[in-house]
Amino acid sequence: MTERHLNYIAGEWQPAFGGATFEDRNPADERDLIGLFPDSAATDVAAAVASVASAWPAWAAQSPEVRADVLFKAADLMSLRADTIAAELTREEGKTLNEARNEARRIAANFRLYAGEALRLNGETYPSEVAQLVLSLRQPVGVVAVITPWNFPLSMAARKLGPALAAGNGVVFKPSEITPLMGQRLVEVLLDAGLPPKLVALVQGKGAKVGQAITAQAGVDALTFTGSYAVGKQIAASLSTDTRVQLEMGGKNATVILADASIDKAVATIERGAFGLTGQACTGTSRVLVARPLYAELVARLEKSAAAIKVGPGTSEGVQMGPLATRAQYDKVRAYVGIARDEGGRVVGGDALPETDPALAHGYFVRPAVVSDLPENSRLWREEIFGPVVAIRPIDSLDEAIRLADDTEYGLAVSLVTGDLPSVLRFARETQHGIVKVNSPTTGVSLNAPFGGLKHSSNQAAKEQGGANVMDFYSRIKTIYLGA
């Protein structure tokens, strides 16, 4: 019996207007139908925005303790449900159970962090010659639309919903159509924690239909989006100028290995950054720049270690890399492996797993790929692949490392492996990336540190995550002059 899931609008679980649905399937075995979800459209969005608009002023008027309390309770519930939700995450997105548990368990910490921010929604006071006292007050923005990708369906959403609600806003949430169940689970946790029913609306559906409807809907005061640059650009172009917008987008992240680095450490750092989460992380390593004396050895070692990675269903014991999340991802990764070969690169791995293995025959499995000896203008160097494919190139100096690491339209994360402090300091100051990691992979960030990129990786609105800066996006500042 196929499970039929619902939208949550105006405090009611309900189908999409007109009843259309779409399928959610398991990427490790596409025969496994997880359920049917509402294929929503503009009518659903209009109802969602109207109900959230009616609910947020009362929420904003609550004491900050009440808002914090709901988020603290949501954190507790998330901790209790984390293992169950993690198993569903593996079934829906494909990542290994370990990776899924890490993501699910982190949500509790995320909610706790933002519960604290509700209590720290501070303003400032200013000495003044025109009034007895001048002060600034942070007030909610109103209706915040949240549009998220599938690769971290829980954490990308929690780091938007948490601060939005903490600041007193209401939320219209559209999860990715690839991971609708995770969106639903997050909303259930918040409602069970005591969130007022109309304050949040869950509108499931396709980006081109319901996502676009959100950008065209009057009454959305702010929109926060994480996803691809192509879609982010489209969203920014179609929004009214009155809508505040935050866009976190793609990356073409590099790890730089300087001549003093240990090969073991370099291999471990690259492997984790490039192949963790099946290479489907916005901060994933897709380029490696290595000091020329280490090039041949590093390529050989990476080829060997990538070939030893156990690929399979995320639920299976010992599996280190799950499937790609969708058939489109699978086709894209295989196409880029073909492009690398056509460009004359040396490619080891990247092939589909043998379809003769019954455990793998119906999933989107590929082997991780290591690509070397590419020409300078290779597409693999420039375009975001979003899969387990890493390209390696030799460098002759730190200058060249900085120039090539920055030679991309993106600027999300970059990492450097070396013990040479002057090189670290220069690299960190000069590189055009929002996140610089030293002696660690490009992936893996602290949830309480500012997150965001430069250039096409971000629209440079207020940063996500971190401390008080988070609230810059989710609140408006009003300046008040007090006279006697």
Binding interface with ligand NAD (CB under 6 A): 147-152, 156, 174, 176-177, 207-208, 211-212, 215, 226-228, 231, 234-235, 248-251, 282, 384, 386, 412, 457
Min separation Cβ 388 and ligand NAD, Å = 14
**CB nearest ligand NAD: which residue?**
207
Min separation Cβ 151 and ligand NAD, Å = 5
Q: Rounded to an integer, what distance in angstroms lies between the CA atom of residue 314 and that of residue 327?
A: 16
Q: Is the Cβ of residue 157 or residue 395 nearer to ligand NAD in the bound state?
A: 157
At residue 229, what is the residue type? Y
Min separation Cβ 300 and ligand NAD, Å = 29
Min separation Cβ 309 and ligand NAD, Å = 22
Q: Is the Cβ of residue 207 or residue 312 nearer to ligand NAD in the bound state?
A: 207
Q: Is the Cβ of residue 39 or residue 271 nearer to ligand NAD in the bound state?
A: 39
Q: Is the Cβ of residue 138 or residue 160 nearer to ligand NAD in the bound state?
A: 160
Min separation Cβ 306 and ligand NAD, Å = 21
**Contact 97/57 with Cβ under 8 angstroms?**
no
Min separation Cβ 448 and ligand NAD, Å = 16
Min separation Cβ 264 and ligand NAD, Å = 29
Q: Is the Cβ of residue 291 or residue 413 nearer to ligand NAD in the bound state?
A: 413
**Other CB atoms within 10 A of residue 238 CB:** 12
Positions marked active-site: 248
Q: Residue 38: beta bridge partners?
A: 21
CA distances 66 to 143, 167, 188, 351, Å, are 19, 12, 18, 53
The contacts of residue 179 (CB under 8 Å, 6+ apart) are 24, 89, 92, 93, 150, 153
Q: Residue 171: beta bridge partners?
A: 144, 200
Min separation Cβ 331 and ligand NAD, Å = 13
Min separation Cβ 42 and ligand NAD, Å = 12
The region, left, alpha or beta by phi > 0 then psi within -120 to 50, assigned to residue 218 is: beta
